[in-house]
Chain A
Amino acid sequence: MYPKNFSDKLLLIRLKKKDPDAFAAVYDTYVTPIYRFVYFKVSSRQDAEDLTSEVFLKVWQYVTETEETIENLRALIYRVAKNLVIDFYRQRARSEYAAGDEVLDNVRDVRQQSLLNEIEAKVDLQKMEGVLRKLKDEYREVIILRFIEDLSISEIAKILDKSKGSVRVIIHRALKVTRELLNQNGK
């Protein structure tokens, strides 16, 4: 973990000095995970590409202009991505995208069961992608960050601006809902 943090910190110093090579290095490192993060939040690949490009431009503008100290470059990039997606949806008609919580309402709250043991063995990629898209944004974020991008609880907490305890709770709930959706899809 340390070497990654250190390389990010060196990149930050070079970014602050407006070094385009540092920007290219940041882009190369984060373009795929950020694209994936955005991809599951928007409806099309085109939107994901546009937003991903914008993320890096915003990060560049922010890092080169701010006087504040930035401690975690990765957390910053994910937060820019998250905020840009929110802005993106805010600009579009709300009615089109109001289905997220309804899906959750339909999921039964089955308690006291081992969450992951309930998840079907036959899940395939398409089904998993469909389930991820049906999840509430908060749950989808933690599933992607924790299980696809392998981020630590601490890093996720920084990105989501929540305590580690809250993140653990959200992950627990997200897994539970994922299991329920997979069961529903399997029927």
Chain B
Amino acid sequence: MENNFFQEIKKIRTEIKPRPEWVALSRDILLQQINPQKEFQPVKVGLGGYFSFVTQLVSQHVFEPVVVMLLIFATFAGSSLTINAAFYSMPGQPLYRVKLALEKTHAAMVISENDKVELKMEFAQKRMDELDKIVRQSDLTPEAKKKQIEIIVSEFKNNVSAASSHLTKLTEDIKKSEAAKPADSELTVRMAMTISDKTKDLAESFTANVGKIDDAEIKQLVTEAAQSAQATSVAAKQIADEAALPANEGAAGTVEGAENAGEAEADENASASSTPKVD
């Protein structure tokens, strides 16, 4: 009987879940709210951060072996960031191929499909930034500019295409699976919305750059990139909509008829504030 009680209560964990489309939408809205300038650049934790982190941990867990592990991790992460910081090269520069190879290695090391998509979108954004810089450069010959933009557009298409492939693969896997879980559709919606939103932004940025280019061939290249991004955005939006539908219907059923009970503490604690006390 005890086991039955725990089994039933554990069922709540699997059955009561937020709607996947809300989770994805709320995530995007919150990220916009906390970061209105869309500066989605990861903050690099510097040595100072690691030092204060280690100091705090040592003060809490002195002599615990895990502190040693943490120090090793900090050393490893610090050197990774140094390597990372070294590669701000542009197309045509010797290190650019190395940069692309590093990106591919980075993507290969990521396990989660969602993280892979995020990463590919991040790389696509980098290509956009590179294009922006090259378009603004006045000391380049049209030939050199064209060559560099060709490389960027090609890599951009590869990144967008790879992100779409991950999404398509996930969608097909879920369709094949006999018992798709709510978490799967949540992931699909999130991935699809990430791709849709970001490719839409990228398409707009590419289109904005077209107006700054005089050379007809380069203009054509950039227009193709914009169209590719736009098409991907539309397709991803459709996938997001389709994935959200069954989850939405299923989720609604679990709420109906839910009865509200008393919230005694709300009355008792009239002075409560949403700002927490610090632990």
Contact flag A121-B277 (CB < 8 Å), given A10-B53, A21-B42: no
Q: Is A164 an interface residue (CB 8 A)?
A: no
Contact flag A97-B262 (CB < 8 Å), given A20-B40, A76-B276: yes
Contact flag A52-B18 (CB < 8 Å), given A69-B56, A103-B261: yes
Contact flag A6-B45 (CB < 8 Å), given A32-B18, A101-B264, A148-B9: no
Query: Measured between alpha carbons, how far is A84 from B263 in the docked complex, in Å?
Result: 13
A89 proximity list for chain B (CB < 8 A): 263, 266-267
Q: Is A151 an interface residue (CB 8 A)?
A: no
Whether B278 contacts A69 by the Cβ 8 Å rule is: yes
Query: Measured between alpha carbons, how far is A156 from B23 in the docked complex, in Å?
Result: 25
- Of B25-33, B133-141, B144-152, B208-216, which stretch is located at the interface? B25-33
Contact flag A57-B262 (CB < 8 Å), given A13-B53, A32-B18, A76-B279: no
Q: Interface residues of A, CB < 8 Å — how many? A: 88
Contact flag A44-B259 (CB < 8 Å), given A17-B49, A90-B266, A123-B8: no
Contact flag A148-B33 (CB < 8 Å), given A14-B45, A103-B262, A128-B8: no
Which among A44, A49, A70, A149 has the greatest number of chain B C-beta atoms within 10 A? A49
Contact flag A41-B274 (CB < 8 Å), given A21-B42, A125-B8, A129-B12: no
Min C-beta distance of B265 to chain A, whole Å: 4
B15 proximity list for chain A (CB < 8 A): 125
Residues of B within 8 A of A (CB): 1-2, 4-6, 8-13, 15-19, 22-23, 26-27, 29-31, 33-35, 39-40, 42-43, 45, 49, 52-53, 56-57, 60, 66, 70, 251, 255, 258-267, 269-270, 272-279
Q: Which 7 A-B pairs have the closest CB atoms?
A: A100-B262, A89-B266, A43-B260, A19-B43, A86-B272, A100-B264, A99-B262
